């Protein structure tokens, strides 16, 4: 077949191509391994010398003709396909985007941080103590010897025999802090932390809960120093019109011992469900450090004196944020936890 005829046929076929797929087929037919133009190319060498140049030029121009059209058509078809795709995949930029959830500190953490800030502003250090504790620190050096009935109320989980246990209170940190100061210098610490007891979990009890312990040891410290300190903290946490009251109580490591009540910030002392219609709410145990405790931890009670207190962190958070079930703090239902996120708490303040 003459090259001119081939070109004529190619022109027709080019006109018939309707899409990328057909264009590719055309490419294979003409420039594939056994394509028409490829074969013509390989024939150039067999053409007699005097015709070779002319034949070669014709094959070349046919090839250029093919390539020019091929490129143009390819671009064209690709544009068409792209436009079709764009039409289908239309993005509405006015639609709201996926919401990114922002976390917030746990409500107990928030309360503890608030209490820490208040005490730090009064010169207290925030210290830590082990949750796996020795009987010696959790009981004995707090004036609760083996067999003392006070231990019954603080039954806990034992790790090794009777000597290593999960601390039932943060009070052992008092002993540890005094031992560290070696009976030589004043101590002013608070210790927020987890405590454990063999309690059945319900709305007001948990086998694991948080206390905020406090200890101040110095010279000439009395119950009135304790009262003044607690009063400042309570007013900062619950409001300036909230009053503090001490009720006599009994703890083995303080003498005298007291229960710390605050006037009900909800009903202003008139009686409501939060204060069980008494006008007062108990938030801590406290007292003047017992001389035996000072002595056992290396402080001479004739020179040194001090006060100590233990707040229930959950109890304070439940009061401050009006939560009626302790389990809300520990279960993993985000819907409940989220009810108390940062924004809401700030608005309630
Ligand atoms: N540790 C006590 C308890 O768990 C609370 C307490 C009472 C702590 C009096 C004190 C304190 O530091 O002085 O019931």
At 148-166, the pLDDT tens digits run: 999 999 999 999 899 999 9
Measured from the Cα of 307, ligand 1's closest atom is 13
Q: Is the pLDDT of residue 348 over 70?
A: no
Sheet holding 125-126, edge to edge: 125-126, 187-196, 208-218, 305-312, 280-289, 254-263, 244-251
Q: Is the pLDDT of residue 100 over 60?
A: yes
Q: Specify the DSSP class assigned to residue 44.
A: G
Q: What is the mean pLDDT of residues 21-33?
A: 95
Return d(Cα 57, Cα 231) in angstroms, integer. Answer: 106
Write out the E strands in the chain.
Answer: 125-126, 132-134, 158-160, 164-166, 187-196, 208-218, 244-251, 254-263, 280-289, 305-312
CB 193 near ligand 1, within 6 Å: no
Q: What is the mean pLDDT of residues 77-92?
A: 89
**Residue minimizing CA distance to atom 9 of ligand 1:** 286
Return d(Cα 114, Cα 110) in angstroms, integer. Answer: 6
pLDDT of amino acid 174 = 98
Are the beta carbons of 177 and 148 closer than 8 angstroms? Answer: no
Q: What is the mean pLDDT of residues 328-340?
A: 78
* Confidence class for position 265, pLDDT limits 50, 70, 90: confident
The conformational region for residue 211 under phi > 0 = left, psi -120 to 50 = alpha, else beta, is: beta
C-alpha pair distances (Å), 92 with each of 2, 95, 193 = 57, 6, 51
Are the beta carbons of 20 and 74 closer than 8 angstroms? Answer: yes
Query: What pTM does this model have?
Result: 0.71
CB 254 near ligand 1, within 6 Å: yes
State the distance from the centre of ligand 1 to the C-alpha of 2, rounded, in angstroms: 110
Widest CA span of the chain, in angstroms? 129
User: Which residues partner with 305 through β-bridges?
Assistant: 218
* Confidence class for position 340, pLDDT limits 50, 70, 90: low
Enumerate residues 6+ apart whose C-beta is below 8 A from 325: 203
What totals of helices (H) and strands (E) does the chain contain, helices first?
12, 10
Q: Is the pLDDT of residue 241 over 60?
A: yes
pLDDT of amino acid 231 = 96
Return d(Cα 292, Cα 224) in angstroms, integer. Answer: 21
* Percentage of the chain exceeding pLDDT 70: 97
Residue of 251, 287, 307 to mutate, ligand 1, most atoms within 8 A of C-beta: 251
DSSP reduced 3-state for 306: strand
CB 309 near ligand 1, within 6 Å: yes
* Confidence class for position 177, pLDDT limits 50, 70, 90: very high
DSSP reduced 3-state for 325: coil
At 268-326, the pLDDT tens digits run: 888 888 788 999 999 999 999 999 999 999 999 999 999 999 999 999 998 888 888 88
CB 143 near ligand 1, within 6 Å: no
Interior CA angle at 68 toward 62 and 74, to 5°?
130
* Confidence class for position 341, pLDDT limits 50, 70, 90: low
The two structure tokens encoding residue 16: 């018939």
Average pLDDT, the chain: 92
Measured from the Cα of 254, ligand 1's closest atom is 13
The conformational region for residue 298 under phi > 0 = left, psi -120 to 50 = alpha, else beta, is: left
CB 287 near ligand 1, within 6 Å: yes
CB 119 near ligand 1, within 6 Å: no
Q: How many residues does the chain have?
A: 349
Q: Is the pLDDT of residue 50 over 90?
A: yes
C-beta neighbour count of 169 within 10 angstroms: 24
pLDDT of amino acid 344 = 47
* Confidence class for position 343, pLDDT limits 50, 70, 90: very low
């Amino acid at each position: 077949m003459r090259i001119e005829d081939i070109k004529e046929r190619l022109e027709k076929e080019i006109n018939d191509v309707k899409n990328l797929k057909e264009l590719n087929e055309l490419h294979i037919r003409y420039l594939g391994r056994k394509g028409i133009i490829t074969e013509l190319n390989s024939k150039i060498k067999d053409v007699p010398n005097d015709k070779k140049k002319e034949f070669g030029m014709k094959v070349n121009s046919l090839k250029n003709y093919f390539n020019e059209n091929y490129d143009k058509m390819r671009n064209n078809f690709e544009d068409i396909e792209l436009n079709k795709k764009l039409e289908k995949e239309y993005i509405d930029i006015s639609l709201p985007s996926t919401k990114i959830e922002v976390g917030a500190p746990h409500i107990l953490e928030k309360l503890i941080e608030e209490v820490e800030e208040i005490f730090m502003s009064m010169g207290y250090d925030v210290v830590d103590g082990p949750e796996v504790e020795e009987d010696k620190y959790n009981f004995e050096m707090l004036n609760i010897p083996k067999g003392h009935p006070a231990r019954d109320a603080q039954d806990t989980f034992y790790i090794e025999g009777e000597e290593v246990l999960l601390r039932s209170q943060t009070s052992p940190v008092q002993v540890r802090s005094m031992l560290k100061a070696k009976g030589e210098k004043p101590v002013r610490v608070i210790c927020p932390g987890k405590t454990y007891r063999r309690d059945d979990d319900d709305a007001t009890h948990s086998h694991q809960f948080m206390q905020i312990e406090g200890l101040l040891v110095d010279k000439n410290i009395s119950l009135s120093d304790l009262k003044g300190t607690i009063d400042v903290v309570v007013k900062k946490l619950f409001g300036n019109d909230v009053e503090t009251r001490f009720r006599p109580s009994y703890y083995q490591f303080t003498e005298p011992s007291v229960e710390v009540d605050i006037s009900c910030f909800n009903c202003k002392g008139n009686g409501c469900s939060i204060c069980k219609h008494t006008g007062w709410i108990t938030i801590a145990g406290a007292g003047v450090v017992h001389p035996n405790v000072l002595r056992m931890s290396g402080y001479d009670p004739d020179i040194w004196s001090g006060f100590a207190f233990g707040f229930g962190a959950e109890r304070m958070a439940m009061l401050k944020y009006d939560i009626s079930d302790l389990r809300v703090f520990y279960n993993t239902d985000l819907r409940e936890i989220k009810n108390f996120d940062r924004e809401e708490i700030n608005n309630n303040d």
